[in-house]
């Protein structure tokens, strides 16, 4: 595998890596949303199950395999796409995946996620509230001392480099004239690794592009301080791995307007956004991630008529359960 990231931080080429993504993911115009709106289709990054965790698992599963770990333990909400994606890709690569799940508001998408987790032989432990989830997770890890632990959201400096590379992939598509360089990238923001990676990638290239991180989880988990810590941690890792060029100040903004009652809680805008997502991308949207990101996109299209906008699609449209 030869990633554009290896030109920027050559040391990363020596890190363990398992190739999972179909590169490059398509870029396309979305006329239904406006003349200057484009999408980056990470929803189709893998036929098994797409979305924005797949590029991270290339590094994570590579690390797990190099350490001889057979088992991976993670934590997420009942309908967490991070959990589904890890169950699917971990299983396909021969790992056992344990997931400790905390409660979230029930939606049809939660049912779908649980079904996909079970189909991929995920070992699911439904723990209840956050505190019980923390205790249960400690218990599982005690019983499995050799397991690799993936924190909720899976945004660590090593995994965040996946989206620095994804931005460089976009830059090559811009260079080839497949898509204009966006003034702004709109992306759902949970634990923040995707938005941070993209903003850092743009800063490395000296692009003036702003990344708007649409907050879809609670402020305690995702806020300007956590994003800044992820930015500096990821940048430090890149420097250790050979990044020598000067990096401009990353242009990362948070949009807090669409979170409503918190992670997984629906809002009228998220319902509308989920429906729009389905119309545009041809697979059901949901209210936790895509509905809120889509609501933000539509608002920003109206607020910023002069800007070229790129919606970075983080929700899988592949490997999903069709429902009627
Ligand atoms: C994980 C996820 C996000 C959030 O990504 P972060 O990098 O954790 O901010 C957004 N959308 C979907 C569909 C996800 O699975």
pLDDT at 172: 98
* Measured distance CA(211)–CA(208) in Å, rounded: 10
Report the alpha-carbon distance of residue 238 to residue 8 in Å, rounded: 8
Q: How confident is the model at residue 324 (pLDDT cuts 50, 70, 90)?
A: very low
- The response to whether residue 315 sits with its C-beta less than 6 Å from ligand 1 reads yes
Is pTM, for the whole model, over 0.85?
yes
Residue 26 DSSP code: P
Beta bridge partners of 96: 71
- The whole-number average pLDDT for the span 210-235 is 96
Angle between helices 224-240 and 157-175 in degrees, nearest 10: 80
CB-ligand 1 contact for 81 (6 Å cutoff): yes
Q: How many CA atoms lie within 13 A of 224 on its CB side?
A: 7
Closest atom of ligand 1 relative to the 81 alpha carbon: 15
CA of 69 to the centre of ligand 1 (A): 25
Alpha helices in 176-282 (DSSP H): 193-205, 224-240, 268-281
100: phi then psi, degrees, rounded to nearest 5: -95, 125
* pLDDT single digits (tens) 23-33: 999 999 999 99
Which band of pLDDT confidence, cut at 50, 70 and 90, is reported for residue 321? confident
Contact 283 CB / ligand 1 (< 6 Å): no
Tell how far the Cα of 74 is from the centroid of ligand 1, in angstroms: 15
pLDDT at 246: 84
Could you give the residue ranges of the DSSP H alpha helices within the chain? 5-8, 54-66, 81-92, 108-119, 130-143, 157-175, 193-205, 224-240, 268-281, 290-303
Share of the chain above pLDDT 70, in %: 99
What confidence tier does 1 reach under pLDDT thresholds 50, 70, 90? confident
pLDDT exceeds 90 at position 16:
yes
Tokens at residue 48, please?
Answer: 């098994």
pLDDT at 181 over 60: yes
> In order of start, what are the domains of the chain with their CATH numbers?
5-51+155-312 (3.40.50.1100), 54-150 (3.40.50.1100)
pLDDT tens per residue, range 247-257? 999 999 999 99
Nearest CA to ligand 1 atom 15: 81
d(CA 66, CA 178): 37
Tens-digit pLDDT profile for residues 262-309: 999 999 999 999 999 999 999 999 999 999 999 999 999 999 999 999
Q: Is the per-residue pLDDT at 64 higher than 60? A: yes
312-322 average pLDDT score: 93
């Amino acid at each position: 595998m030869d990633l554009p990231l290896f030109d920027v931080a050559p040391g990363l080429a020596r890190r363990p890596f398992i190739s999972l993504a179909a590169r490059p993911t398509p870029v396309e115009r979305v006329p239904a949303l406006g003349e200057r709106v484009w999408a980056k289709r990470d929803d189709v990054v893998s036929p098994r199950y797409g979305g924005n965790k797949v590029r991270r698992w290339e590094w994570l599963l590579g690390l797990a395999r190099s350490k001889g770990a057979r088992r991976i333990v993670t934590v997420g909400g009942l309908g967490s796409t991070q959990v589904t994606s890890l169950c699917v890709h971990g299983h396909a690569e021969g790992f056992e995946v344990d997931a400790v799940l905390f409660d979230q508001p029930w939606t049809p998408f939660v049912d779908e996620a649980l079904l996909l987790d079970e189909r991929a032989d995920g070992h699911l432990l439904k723990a209840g509230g956050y505190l019980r989830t923390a205790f249960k997770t400690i218990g599982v890890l005690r019983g499995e001392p050799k397991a690799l632990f993936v924190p909720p959201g899976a945004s660590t400096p090593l995994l965040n480099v996946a989206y620095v590379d994804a931005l460089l992939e976009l830059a090559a598509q811009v260079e080839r004239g497949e898509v204009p360089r966006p003034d702004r990238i709109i992306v759902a923001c949970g634990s923040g690794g995707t938005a941070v990676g993209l903003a850092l990638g743009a800063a490395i290239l000296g692009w003036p592009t702003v990344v708007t991180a649409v907050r879809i989880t609670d402020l305690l988990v995702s806020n300007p301080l956590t994003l800044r810590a992820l930015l500096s941690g990821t940048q430090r890792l890149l420097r250790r791995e050979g990044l020598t060029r000067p990096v401009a100040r990353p242009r990362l903004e948070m949009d807090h307007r669409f979170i409503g009652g918190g992670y997984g809680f629906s809002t009228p805008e998220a319902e509308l956004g989920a429906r729009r997502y389905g119309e545009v991308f041809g697979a059901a949207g949901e209210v936790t991630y895509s509905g809120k990101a889509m609501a933000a996109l539509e608002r920003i299209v109206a607020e910023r008529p002069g800007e070229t906008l790129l919606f970075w699609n983080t929700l899988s449209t592949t490997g999903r359960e069709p429902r009627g």
